[in-house]
Amino acid sequence: MSKKSPERPLILVSNDDGITSPGIRTLVELMNELGEVVVVAPDSPQSGMGHAITVGNTLRLDASTIFRDLGIQAFECSGTPADCVKLAKHHVLKDRTPDLVVSGINHGSNSSISVLYSGTMSAAIEGAIEGMPAIGFSLCDYGHDADFSHVRKYVTQIAQQVLQTGIPSGVALNVNFPKKTDHALKGIKICRQARAKWQEVFEERYDPNGRRYFWLAGNFVNEDKGEDNDEWALANHYVSVVPCLFDLTAYHAMGTLNQEWEIAVGDETPDTSKQASHR
């Protein structure tokens, strides 16, 4: 585990809703109380981009004055959330390594299967790939005017905990908050990702010129009956924290495939019979 440096910690902030979103403003304000903050965020919304990176196209990075009132250095990037963290690490900060990478606060849930599509979590996971402690924060409220007041103390507590004690190398925390309601948050639950998914429907529509297009819609289906997953935690007014890895290897399947596959697996002894027949 990496632990807090004795100096004022350096905190990199990014997101996927864009540098002008209310969610990142909230996160920047909170992180500014904990350390030196540098912001590198998309110049436009990048929700649902997953871990996409810009290849074969221009990538622009410009200084921004949006957080000048807080005295914070900020940059807006034309690329994806993953691009933002890469540029921050290798260009903006150069020889300085952040003590913490935080992404969000996202307008909308990134629990369960949504972690795979999330631009918010891709920024955090990119930080983990680079060997930096990282957290993605999301609020289960898609509104631009979402109320973040009930999550502020938890964002601070979780970030402080990671700065003080660290997290396992290569891990990014996926933190989700219930939408603000009359129910007070009960606390924090360390969870697993729920076994749930979206059942997509592509609605066929036509534009004013009569050209056909499709609009993605669908329903979220949660068949997970456990009480140790993020969907249960959120439904029961807890903050869910899921430790995530970028290693997608299904280790439990490796032995099965080695035992059951009939095709040759692994090193083989070269067949020299044909070579000998031609001598």
Give the pLDDT of residue 267.
59
- The residues near 14 (Cβ < 8 Å, ≥ 6 apart) are 24, 39, 40, 41, 42, 81, 84, 85, 88, 101, 102, 103, 123
CA distances from 103 to 35, 166, 214, 223 (A): 15, 17, 30, 29
Q: Residue 4: what residue type?
A: K
Q: Is residue 224 a known part of a binding site?
A: no
17 is in an annotated binding site: yes
- Phi, psi for residue 123 in degrees, rounded to 5: -65, -45
Whole-Å CA distances, 235 to 1, 111, 127, 227, 231: 31, 11, 29, 10, 6
* Domains along the chain with CATH numbers: 10-195+226-270 (3.40.1210.10)
Question: What is d(CA 83, CA 244) in angstroms, rounded to the nearest whole number?
Answer: 20
> What is the three-class DSSP state of 38?
strand
Q: pTM for the complete prediction? A: 0.88
Phi and psi at residue 68, to the nearest 5°: -60, -35
Q: Is 36 exposed, middle or buried (0-12, 13-18, 19+ CB in 10 A)?
A: middle
Token pair for residue 216? 């993605």
Confirm or deny that 247 is annotated as ligand binding: no
Whether 236 has a binding-site annotation, put simply, is no
Banded model confidence at residue 1, pLDDT cuts 50, 70, 90 = low
Q: What percentage of the chain reaches a pLDDT higher than 70?
A: 92
Residues linked to residue 209 through DSSP beta bridges, in sequence order: none
- pLDDT tens track for 149-208: 999 999 999 999 999 999 999 999 999 999 999 999 999 999 999 999 888 889 999 999
And the tokens for 235? 């439904």
Estimate to the nearest angstrom the gap between the alpha carbon of 178 and the chain centroid: 17
Each residue of 95-147: pLDDT tens digit? 899 999 999 999 999 999 999 999 999 999 999 999 999 999 999 999 989 99
Distance CA 171, CA 173 (A): 7
Taking 60 as the threshold, does the pLDDT of residue 271 lie above it? no
Encode burial over 133-147: b for 16+ CB neighbours within 10 A, e otherwise: bbbbbbbbbeeeebe
Tokens of 132: 């930096």
The predicted pLDDT at position 270 comes to: 54
- pLDDT above 70 (res 264): no
CA-to-CA distance for 123 and 46, rounded, in angstroms?
A: 11
Q: What is the pLDDT of residue 113?
A: 92
Q: Tens of pLDDT along 9-50?
A: 999 999 999 999 999 999 999 999 999 999 999 999 888 888
pLDDT digits (tens, 9 = 90+) for 213-238: 999 888 888 999 999 999 999 999 99
